[in-house]
Amino acid sequence: NLFEDGGDCGDGYVYSRPLTDTIVTSSGSLETVEVIENGPLARAIRLSYTLSVPVGLVENGRKRSLSRTEMPVHCTLRLMESSSILEIETEIANSCENHRLQVNFWREKPGNALFYKTPFDIVTTPKSQPSKINPNWIEDEPLARPNNGVFGEIENTDRYSGFAVSTKGINEFESFEQGLKLTLFRAVGHIASPYPLSSMKRPAGPKIETPGAQMKGSLTFEYAVFFIDSLEDIVKRSCSYLKKPLSIGFAGRRPETPLTVDSLTTEVTAIKKAENGESIILRLVNFSEESDNVKIRLREGLFSKACLCTAAEKREEEIPIQNNLVSVACGPKKIVTLEFEMSS
């Protein structure tokens, strides 16, 4: 969890490193360590850093300023009882311009591949790949990759052994030789940069100022880190972190859930009312290259019929309900849509 700040002469479209960059890291800048929770259910510490960061760019965006200001960073690490997920909340007070802040993750023996989640898949790829740059391109091949809530480093593309980072709304990361970097924020001031770009041959659009994109003020980021040995670990632990149940209060008998889903590598992507009628639609996706047998337990008496549907919610076939249990084989890399008709 090493913080790294570098210059950014890019814009709302692309990152661009200044011709002469100055890199600032949190190494050696830790000021205090405070225990803020030490109970039977959770333990947490708060780390406080102060980074000395250049205030902006000079020489028409070609280098970072010699003038610096302090950028406080407060990082809370929390570990819940019986959990293998290290939850992290990072608070930053930013007053600088045209820079990028990333957080680095690595392990003693780096993996040879990485993975990242998309809305309906988990993609794996080798970390080291031949360049695909074409001389006719006007833009460099991007280093950053997206993630839809979880990414990580693994031994190779068919062995999910390594570590994962799960994020709440932080969508960009990139790899480096020793590990992975999560981009917390980029602070830029234009839709298209007025500065000479190192990553493009020409600006991407109009040079309209966007002062709000300098990301000044108090910023809070939430993410988590955990070790993995399988695709099942990725799915279950990222869901455990990202899809926590709502905090509710009740009096008397505890309300029952309408249904529960038990699977290995399949995730619930949607549960909603049907577009036509009063039925419930449940959408699942299997991230594995192997079939997954999904079991759905229904609340007794709540549903009278279960059907397989198309993505457009058109019924294809009825599925038997046996002892309030529905079993579905979710094929490799498949999206499955189910409809549950309410009892009258």
pLDDT digits (tens, 9 = 90+) for 70-93: 999 999 999 999 899 999 999 999
Whether 225 and 277 map to the same domain: the answer is no
Whether 60 and 153 map to the same domain: the answer is yes
**Domain extent at residue 319:** 259-342
Whether 220 and 88 map to the same domain: the answer is yes
Q: Which two tokens stand for residue 323?
A: 């002892």
Q: Does 170 score more than 80 pLDDT?
A: yes
Q: Does 136 score more than 90 pLDDT?
A: no
Tell me what pLDDT residue 251 has. 67
Whether 216 and 272 map to the same domain: the answer is no
Whether 182 and 329 map to the same domain: the answer is no
Tens of pLDDT along 271-321? 999 998 889 999 999 999 999 999 999 999 999 999 999 999 999 999 999
Nearest 5°: CA angle at 231, between 228 and 233?
A: 45
Whole-angstrom CA distances from 253 to 58, 136, 258 are 66, 68, 15
Whether 270 and 238 map to the same domain: the answer is no
Residue with tokens 């510490």: 45
- Per-residue three-class SS string for the chain: CEEEEEECCCCCCCCCCCCECCCEECCCCEEEEEEEEECCCEEEEEEEEEEEEECCEECCCCEECCCEEEEEEEEEEEEECCCCCEEEEEEEEECCCCEEEEEEEECCCCCCEEEEEECCEEEEEECCCCCCCCCCCCECCCCCEECCCEEEEEEECCEEEEEEEEECCCCEEEEECCEEEEEEEEECCECCCCCCCCCECCCCCCCCECHHHHCCEEEEEEEEEEEECCHHHHHHHHHHHHCCCCCCCCCCCCCCCCEEEECCCEEEEEEEECCCCCCEEEEEEECCCCCEEEEEEECCCCEEEEEEECCCCCEEEEECCECCEEEEEECCCCEEEEEEEECC
Percent of the chain beyond pLDDT 90? Answer: 84
Percent of the chain beyond pLDDT 70? Answer: 97
Tell me what pLDDT residue 220 has. 98
**What backbone torsions phi and psi does residue 85 show, to the nearest 5 degrees?**
-105, 120
Tens of pLDDT along 12-27? 999 999 999 999 999 9
Tell me what pLDDT residue 249 has. 65
Domain harbouring 109, CATH code: 2.70.98.30
Tell me what pLDDT residue 118 has. 93
Whether 224 and 183 map to the same domain: the answer is yes
The verdict on residue 58 lying in a domain is yes
Tell me what pLDDT residue 202 has. 82
Whether 113 and 23 map to the same domain: the answer is yes
Whether 233 and 281 map to the same domain: the answer is no
For the ranges 17-26, 145-154, 245-254, 298-307, the lowest mean pLDDT is seen at 245-254
Tell me what pLDDT residue 243 has. 81
The verdict on residue 251 lying in a domain is no
Domain harbouring 282, CATH code: 2.60.40.1180
The verdict on residue 254 lying in a domain is no
The verdict on residue 248 lying in a domain is no
Q: Does 247 score more than 90 pLDDT?
A: no
Number of domains in the chain: 2
Whether 209 and 266 map to the same domain: the answer is no
Whether 263 and 177 map to the same domain: the answer is no
Measured between alpha carbons, how far is 341 from 277 in angstroms, rounded to an integer? 9
The mean per-residue pLDDT over the stretch 228-237 comes to: 95
Of the candidates 242, 269, 304, which is a domain's last residue? 242
Model pTM score: 0.89
Of the candidates 242, 272, 301, which is a domain's last residue? 242
Whether 17 and 114 map to the same domain: the answer is yes
Confidence of residue 98 (pLDDT cuts 50, 70, 90): very high
The verdict on residue 250 lying in a domain is no
Tens of pLDDT along 183-211? 999 999 999 999 999 888 887 788 899 99
